[in-house]
Amino acid sequence: MATINFGGVIEEVVTREEFSLEKARHVLANEIVAVLGYGVQGPAQALNMRENGINVIVGQRVDSPSWSKALEDGWVPGESLFDIEEAVQKGTILQFLLSDAGQIQLWPVVKSHLSPGKMLCFSHGFGITYSDQTGIIPPENVDVVLVAPKGSGTSVRRLFLQGKGINSSYAIHQDVSGNAREKVLALGIAVGSGYLFETDFRKEVYSDLTGERGTLMGAIAGIFEAQYEVLRKQGHSPSEAFNETVEELTQSLMPLVAENGMDWMYGNCSTTAQRGALDWKGKFKAATLPVFESLYSEVASGRETTRVIETCSKPDYREKLNEELTELRSSELWLAGAAVRKLRPG
């Protein structure tokens, strides 16, 4: 364990120095890791583990688009690619990576094959935390853990291929074997984590749902739209409005924040930009803090979960989602973005 000082708060994390890939391979040497679902996180985690020398199989609905994707990625039917029920039977560690709605739907199948000695691993605390709504209550004779990469499957895979690692949280819900911690850390290293920090299922899902709806996706998309709209109404061109709203942030400023922090980014901008940012930061915090407090309350109460389950479980959800995404893609803001991306050098 590495001890890190986070601004006066001491936290213990696990890095690849303390828990090496060689150790992870040793811990998982006699395991068959069945990755259930090949949609968002499944491909990245399965491919990373395979390339790290872990015995991995994939379980996916036969003849689905994700099944075709698994074939393209080199998974072989009957050898390393199976329908979900057969993968559940064969696996000793089950990486339950279906969507939250998909987990609810297929939980009876998974539960029926959770024999003593197996481990059930999640990458999201949703199903367990909101078990009164999902019905996902594991039997008491299996280990139940969580490894949650802090990024999309695309980022998990991309950082792995770059020789880097994505930060991940881990949690232990049930430790029947007495070896759950060692196994979950091994899984975390095997899927490509740079370092792992401990949490619990409830905190993971509360922070995750808040983040996705907040600064990671929902809030930033809304702020983009608001600023772009103001600039366009004041006569600025689409190119100017998009570059000042999105392009400069994503291509120039956020990489500086990622490199050395917000203060360093401020320090590498003009004094006019520094002064304006510092003066207006408090106003934006005051305006959005009540929204974030309301958001967290909705998540903690389970009301947000109810909306998600009801909406995502509808048979026409994918069709409606595509309509929403098409509307987003067709807006002037993101049409401008598509045009700007084509103009980037190289």
195 and 220: one domain?
no
Supply the residues annotated as catalytic.
124
Does 204 reside within a domain?
A: no
Does 116 reside within a domain?
A: yes
Tokens of 341: 């991306």
42 and 141: one domain?
yes
188 and 224: one domain?
no
pLDDT value of residue 179: 96
98 and 241: one domain?
no
The residue range of the domain holding 296 is 211-343
**At 345, which helix (H) or strand (E)?**
none
- The residue from 199, 230, 254 where one domain ends is 199
In eight-state DSSP terms, residue 7 is T
Does 205 reside within a domain?
A: no
CATH number at residue 108: 3.40.50.720
51 and 13: one domain?
yes
Tokens of 278: 């510092």
The per-residue pLDDT string of the chain (346 residues; one tens digit each, 9 = 90 and over) reads 788 888 888 888 999 999 999 999 999 999 999 999 999 899 999 999 999 999 999 999 998 999 999 999 999 999 999 999 999 999 999 999 998 989 999 999 999 999 999 999 999 999 999 999 999 999 999 999 999 999 999 999 999 999 999 999 999 999 999 999 999 999 999 999 989 999 999 999 999 999 999 999 999 999 999 999 999 999 999 999 999 999 999 999 999 999 999 999 999 999 999 999 999 999 999 999 999 999 999 999 999 999 999 998 889 998 999 999 999 999 999 999 999 999 988 7
Report the domain count for the chain: 2
Does 253 reside within a domain?
A: yes
142 and 256: one domain?
no
pLDDT value of residue 304: 95
Residue with tokens 């899927």: 191
Residue (of 107, 91, 94, 35) closest to 66 by Cα position: 35
40 and 148: one domain?
yes
pLDDT value of residue 9: 87
pLDDT value of residue 66: 94
Does 33 reside within a domain?
A: yes
Q: Which residues of 179-214 are buried (b: 16+ CB within 10 A; e: fewer)?
A: ebbbbbbbbbbbbbbbbbbbbbbeebbbbbbbeebb
- The residue from 199, 230, 256 where one domain ends is 199
Does 130 reside within a domain?
A: yes
Does 338 reside within a domain?
A: yes
CB atoms within 10 A of CB 259: 10
330 and 218: one domain?
yes
Q: Write the CA distances from 188 to 33, 100, 171, 211, 297, integer angstroms.
A: 13, 20, 11, 21, 30
**Which one-letter amino acid corresponds to residue 73?**
D
- The residue from 133, 166, 199 where one domain ends is 199
CA distance 329 to 327: 6
Does 206 reside within a domain?
A: no
